[in-house]
Amino acid sequence: MVILKSVMLKLLEKLGYESLYLLEVTGRMGIFLFSCLGRVLAPPYKLNPIIRQIHFIGSRSVFVILFTGTFTGMVLALQGYYTLRKFGSEGLLGSAVALSLLRELGPVLTALMVIGRAGSAITAEVGIMRNSEQIDALECMAIDPYKYLIAPKFVAGLIAMPLLTFIFDVVGIFGGWAVGVGLLDINQGTFFQSMYKAVAWQDINMGIIKALIFGLLMIWICSVKGYFLHLDRSGGFGAEGVSRTTTSAVVLSSVSILVWDYLISAIML
Amino acid sequence: MDSEIVIELINVEKSFGSQKVLDRVNLQVRRGTTLVIVGASGQGKSVILKHMLGLVRPDAGQVKVFDKDIANCSKSELKEVRKSFGVLFQNVALFDSMTVYDNIALPLRERTHLSEAEIRANVEEKLAMMDLDKAGNKFPAQISGGMQKRVGLARALVLDPSIVFFDEPTTGLDVNKSNEIYRLFYKTQAQLGYTAVIVSHDVPKIFKLSDHVALLANKQIQGCLTPEEFQLSDNPHIRSFVETTMGPIYSSEREESSFYEKV
Ligand SMILES: Nc1ncnc2c1ncn2[C@@H]1O[C@H](COP(=O)(O)OP(=O)(O)OP(=O)(O)O)[C@@H](O)[C@H]1O
Ligand SMILES: [Mg+2]
């Protein structure tokens, strides 16, 4: 009886500890987001750091996006063709490819690729700066690390992610066209006609909104993880701390993007 | 000696986990003077400095800079106070993905409205002052430890601060360089009249530069005295510190040789 009681107490204690920790982390992340977004809006506005970040997050991801976009469109056409043929509606291939890309695969796959390329790099960069006291040094020089270090990344993420998604969609559609029209002998007119009829502005808007939200999520999670590396319960020390945190930032942002993808679709459809 | 107090620690206590590092530390720094904090390694000198910088909050007690309790003020007030700081960290904390030049230029670029040409003139002057003329385009990883220290000093001084904090400014420098740095401190302080807090192991040389010396031992400040008083103090901690760090200078040759024989 006494043992049972002490076990129960331990369990409750553990539960309380965990929920407090969760609350603390969530609160910290929330404050971080609002502070950073506040700094984005506050003057002075410097273009140079933003352009540098867009170059890093955006331009240097273009090649990966071209590649994955093309192949995604191609495989969509291939799979779609054999499915649609069962119902005798191969003619709808164009619309099937375009809608899947615009609404779902474009934003999601782009975000996942950019997380792998740029998100991980952001966590590692900010985490190393935290670990080697460079962020402390900024603060002591009365330079606001949110404004100087993080805010340009948010702006760049919000600009780059929709543009990259757009590129992904376009090359994806051409990939689908290449397979559908070039390989599977679908009439080119039919392919584009069905696309033209089926795609509404709403689908495009949904893609843009998703891209914006995914961009925000990626920058937020990846930079906050690096920024508060030193407060990590499992210990953010040294090279191992940075590597562990980077991994967890990539996992967490990928998972939250998939969850939010579902939520946005459910709300907007 | 009666200028106003710019930094004041009142009964500051700090523990890391179960390890108590500072226990009711009291310390005052007056405007325009140089305070040197000495003490054995691992006693908490850097921790005291971090309290003054507002990077570490005390568990109890107050840290006042310009009469503002920086442990309990808003972020913007703290930032305002820090505008008068120039800081050299013990590990230097240079921005390692920027060149030496950009490291020194950064405070000017972010905090002033100077043109790029004015910034260049200012940075080049600082580089020359620190004998780093040829290192401007190198990255921190490409220069020696002593050179990094000097870059850190240049970065700390570039905005003409009114309080400087130097954590071991001459550790890792050869004798000529460190003498040069001391001369430089003397000159710039005469020019700018800044208040300085310096942590150093370079005893007794650093005494020449200091108005007050404070020994941190046994989690507390063991008297904050002028260098002359410090060397004559009968506080047991200070006595033993003076004897171990400066002993051989005053002991006769015979005593010294027997000292080395024992070792
Ligand atoms: N962030 C921290 N977390 C835990 N313990 C710390 C932290 N910072 C310092 N300490 C502990 O506080 C004590 C004092 O450290 P500090 O760096 O101030 O020593 P120091 O006097 O500057 O030594 P040195 O002359 O070697 O630089 C050490 O025992 C150290 O382990
Ligand atoms: Mg130290």
Q: Is the CB of B16 under 6 A from ligand 1?
A: yes
Q: Is the CB of B226 under 6 A from ligand 1?
A: no
Nearest to B93 among A136, A143, A148 (CB): A136
Q: Is the CB of B21 under 6 A from ligand 1?
A: yes
Helices (H) and strands (E) in chain B, counts: 9, 10
Q: With the C-alpha atoms ordered A168, A170, A176, A178, is the resulting torsion angle positive or negative?
A: negative
Q: Which residue's CA is the closest to the ligand 1 atom numbered 6?
A: B16
What pLDDT score was predicted for residue B260? 53
Write down the domain spans for chain A.
45-268
Q: Is A47 on the interface with B (CB under 8 A)?
A: no
Using a CB-CB distance cutoff of 8 angstroms, which residues of chain A are in contact with residue B80? 142
What pLDDT score was predicted for residue B2? 66
Give the residue ranges of chain B where pLDDT is below 70. 1-2, 247-263
pLDDT digits (tens, 9 = 90+) for A2-22: 788 889 999 999 999 889 989
CA distance from start to end of chain B: 43
DSSP B72: G
Average pLDDT of the residues of chain A:
93
What pLDDT score was predicted for residue B124? 95
CA distances from A173 to A11, A75, A166, A193, A197 (A): 54, 11, 11, 13, 15
- Cis peptide bond prior to A44, omega within 30° of 0: yes
Query: Ligand 1 test: best mutation among B21, B203, B216, most atoms within 8 Å of CB?
Result: B21
Model's pTM, two decimal places?
0.90
Q: Answer whether A141 sits within 8 Å of B111, measured CB to CB.
A: yes
pLDDT digits (tens, 9 = 90+) for A135-178: 999 999 999 999 999 999 999 999 999 999 999 999 999 999 99
Q: How many CB atoms are located within 10 Å of the residue B142 CB?
A: 11
Q: Is the CB of B90 under 6 A from ligand 1?
A: yes
Q: Are A39 and A144 in contact (CB under 8 A)?
A: yes
What's the gap in Å between the CA of B247 and the closest CA on chain A? Answer: 36
Can you tell me which residue has the tokens 């331009």? A59
CA distances from A78 to A97, A178, A184, B17 (A): 10, 10, 8, 61
Q: Provide the β-strand partners of residue B163.
A: B85, B195
Nearest to A140 among B80, B85, B97 (CB): B85
Rounded to the nearest angstrom, the gap between the alpha carbon of residue B169 and the centroid of all alpha carbons in its chain is: 7
Q: Are B246 and B206 in contact (CB under 8 A)?
A: no
What pLDDT score was predicted for residue A163? 96
Using a CB-CB distance cutoff of 8 angstroms, which residues of chain A are in contact with residue B54? 139
Exposed (0-12), middle (13-18) or buried (19+): which is A37, by Cβ within 10 Å?
middle
What is the arithmetic mean of pLDDT over A18-30? 92
pLDDT above 90 covers a percentage of chain A that reads: 82
Average pLDDT of the residues of chain B:
89
Report the residue of A46, A129, A134 to disrupt the B interface, i.e. the one with the largest count of B CBs within 10 Å.
A134
Question: What is the homologous superfamily of the domain B1-33+42-84+203-263 according to CATH?
Answer: P-loop containing nucleotide triphosphate hydrolases (3.40.50.300)
Q: Is the CB of B25 under 6 A from ligand 1?
A: no
What is the arithmetic mean of pLDDT over A90-103? 92
Q: Provide the β-strand partners of residue B69.
A: B64
